[in-house]
Structure 1
Amino acid sequence: MDTFRELIEPHRDELRLHCYRILGSLADAEDVLQETMVAAWQGLDGFAGRSTLRTWLYRIATNRCLNALRAGRRRPAEPLPPFDPPEPSRRGEVTWLEPYPDGPEASYEAKETVELAFVAALQRLPPRQAAILVLRDVLGFSTAEVAEMLDTSATAVKGALQRARATVRQRPAVTAEPPALARRFAEAFTAGDVDGLVSLLTDDAWLNMPPAPHEYHGRAAIAEFFTVFFDWCGARRFRLVPTCANAQPAFGCYLAQPGEPVAYPAGLLVLSPRDERLGAVTWFLHEGLLARFGLPSEVS
């Protein structure tokens, strides 16, 4: 067992990130990672060394992810808002999306392949296309290696990769200074300053709130949502604690009731800078999320 740990541990974090990219959910990625470790332990004697250990582990992890998706994705229950929100621009389908805490594993690949927009785009692909795109373009495995991992032909891999690339186009480069944008966002948000928030957005910005399906597109729609929301908040006050998620600026969000000195968790806000503004704000409403980011259970 000790020898097994010594072999496997150097790959654990990058395998977790790999599972997260394909599944979009950190909780599901953790579960599949554990299945991968068990399968690797049970199959270690049969590892013939025809490939590297890392390639062998990625084969197990990828196929476990695909098995999990074939078995049916766990969709979180839609939360009921405590106020009457405006009609959304659309109802999103990727309600299982979760943020990923920044860590050493993120240094294995380019920042753009960890960002929320890329992970969300992968969720909209057929699972095998998503897996092939990640294995080839993110991790750099050869066409032959990917074909062997997925028990398919090189021709099939090339075709799936071409279709996936056409769907997941490269995002615009970030030209803003994320710390400055994040600071201005925090000031406007905690002050309930709708005009200040909207001034930071691109014209085509999105506001998303997984696991709620409500999505708001454009400055006017987002302004309408925040106007209604801050009116509902009344004398309640927000406090934001800075962190990072998916290689992007983020805040642990806490809400204090009127007159109360202690604020309690109200989700995680992840900002997506683009074109010197914010191209998206994703407000994750999952319970228990802040603990995964090492954030406190309350702030005062």
Structure 2
Amino acid sequence: MTDDRLLGADEARFIAAARSDDTTRFALLTERYRRELHVHCYRMLANYADAQDMTQETFLRAWKKRESFRGHAALRTWLYRIATNACLDFLEKRNDRTPVPSELPGAGSEVLYLQPYPDRMLPEDPQESVVARETIELAFIVAVQHLPPRQRAAFILRDVLGWPASKAADALELTVASVTSALQRARVTMREQLPSRRLDWRSPATHELTSDERGAVKSYIDAHERNDLDGLTSLLRDDLRFAMLPEAGTATVTAKDAVDGWVSGGLFQRGYDDWRGITTTVNLMPAVALYLRTPEEPVYRLFAVAALHIVDGKIAELTGFDAADQPWLGLPLTL
């Protein structure tokens, strides 16, 4: 959606609402942008709960600054500017929102605060969506976290949202030259952080799962329900990238290391051998919600969500999340 399409009626109505202190009209005019602003904050912060807080902070700041809006830019642009700076202020105050070195040799760094994004919360109208699959998948979100905050903001505004340099510079209160330099450095870092098969984040993308993805998800669930470690192992690429969040020290870069860790943790042994799985999606990726029934329990309880990146029918990246404290995923707690 272009700014030109928004200039005019919305801006005039917003100015009228601001001048009359009409909170109801203000809410109606701004609420339509909530989901895409939330996605924007999530890209900046990689954490669903933080993004929720900063989206709300965006609306609070917009109300407080309502009289400063003159309609020189589209309302959407103005809100994105506020959201970006709210995220930058948040990152300036938090020293726990950067990747940390992995405890395991060769595993790089870990983004322990990473949370999955429920697809049901993404913008509904594909023509208005600011989401392409490559730019919401977990590998991309993790790579973005390796950028310094202002460089991160410049990259997202320019390469993800497609803003011209002048508009991004205005939003960040930087010169065009500074934004251009920040973008060039950001692109280098992104290409260093993303796996080689994931380098083009600007190509057109479909949101539909492929037959390979659907088949691998089914096999992943079947292996758990059959208590079949060999079957699970056969689904993994040798260069599997694995992490279980928010636990530190779980990141691995080979299937063997991942499987060894699962076995030592008791996977498919007594107490961890009665599984059920349901197919879901997060971050526009195939995912499985895993439910475990222990010997003392009459029901299967939600245990974890496994987000899968599948290449040629095999799992190339597996990110597990403790699902107990993530109610926004909308999953049943028991089966």
TM-score, shorter chain, exceeding 0.5: yes
Q: Which residue of 228, 241, 244 corresponds with 1:193?
A: 228
Answering whether residue 278 of structure 2 is matched by residue 205 of structure 1, we say: no
Alignment-derived partner of residue 67 in structure 2: 45
Answering whether residue 242 of structure 2 is matched by residue 225 of structure 1, we say: no
Q: CA deviation at 1:131?
A: 1.1
Task: Please show how residues 268-283 of structure 1 align to structure 2 within 5 Å.
Answer: 268-283=305-320
Q: CA deviation at 1:241?
A: 2.1
Q: CA deviation at 1:144?
A: 0.3
What's the Cα RMSD here?
2.3
Distance (whole Å) between structure 2 residues aligned to residue 198 and residue 271 of structure 1:
14
Distance (whole Å) between structure 2 residues aligned to residue 286 and residue 137 of structure 1:
32
Answering whether residue 216 of structure 2 is matched by residue 181 of structure 1, we say: yes
- Whether the 8 Å CA contact 1:244–1:250 is kept in 2: the answer is yes
3-state SS of 1:177 partner = helix
Question: Could you list the per-position Cα deviations for residues 232-274 of structure 1 after superposition, in whole angstroms to 9, with x for gaps in the alignment?
Answer: 7414412212211000011222211126330112121111112
- Whether the 8 Å CA contact 1:175–1:274 is kept in 2: the answer is no
Alignment-derived partner of residue 58 in structure 1: 80
Q: CA deviation at 1:210?
A: 1.1
Alignment-derived partner of residue 279 in structure 2: 242
Distance (whole Å) between structure 2 residues aligned to residue 73 and residue 273 of structure 1:
33
Q: CA deviation at 1:121?
A: 0.4
Q: CA deviation at 1:6?
A: 1.8
Question: Could you list the per-position Cα deviations for residues 155-190 of structure 1 after superposition, in whole angstroms to 9, with x for gaps in the alignment?
Answer: 011111111111213662698621111111111133
Range 156-165 or range 171-180, more displaced:
171-180
Q: Which residue of 246, 261, 267 corresponds with 2:298?
A: 261
Change (3 A) 1:227 1:35: same
- Whether the 8 Å CA contact 2:280–2:286 is kept in 1: the answer is yes
3-state SS of 2:252 partner = strand
Range 8-17 or range 173-182, more displaced:
173-182
Question: Could you list the per-position Cα deviations for residues 73-106 of structure 1 after superposition, in whole angstroms to 9, with x for gaps in the alignment?
Answer: 456xxxxxxxxxx977647431000000003427
Q: Which runs of 5+ in 2 are unaligned?
A: 1-22, 98-102, 199-208
What amino acid sits opposite 1:218 in the alignment?
A: T
Distance (whole Å) between structure 1 residues aligned to residue 218 and residue 303 of structure 2:
19
3-state SS of 2:110 partner = coil
- Whether the 8 Å CA contact 1:254–1:266 is kept in 2: the answer is yes
- Whether the 8 Å CA contact 2:228–2:268 is kept in 1: the answer is no
Q: Which runs of 5+ in 1 are unaligned?
A: 76-85
Distance (whole Å) between structure 2 residues aligned to residue 253 and residue 175 of structure 1:
21
What amino acid sits opposite 2:281 in the alignment?
A: C
What amino acid sits opposite 2:292 in the alignment?
A: L
Change (3 A) 1:150 1:273: same
Alignment-derived partner of residue 78 in structure 1: none
3-state SS of 2:276 partner = strand
Alignment-derived partner of residue 285 in structure 1: 322
Change (3 A) 1:264 1:73: farther
Q: Which residue of 101, 121, 133 corresponds with 2:118?
A: 101
Q: Which structure is higher in RCO with an 8 Å CA cutoff and minimum separation 6?
A: 1
Q: Which residue of 142, 149, 161 corresponds with 1:139?
A: 161
Q: CA deviation at 1:192?
A: 3.1
- TM-score for both structures, normalised by structure 2: 0.80
Range 101-110 or range 118-127, more displaced:
101-110
3-state SS of 2:32 partner = helix
3-state SS of 1:209 partner = strand
For this pair of structures, how many residues does the alignment match? 289
Distance (whole Å) between structure 2 residues aligned to residue 232 and residue 91 of structure 1:
28
Range 117-126 or range 264-273, more displaced:
264-273
Distance (whole Å) between structure 2 residues aligned to residue 202 and residue 127 of structure 1:
33
- TM-score for both structures, normalised by structure 1: 0.89
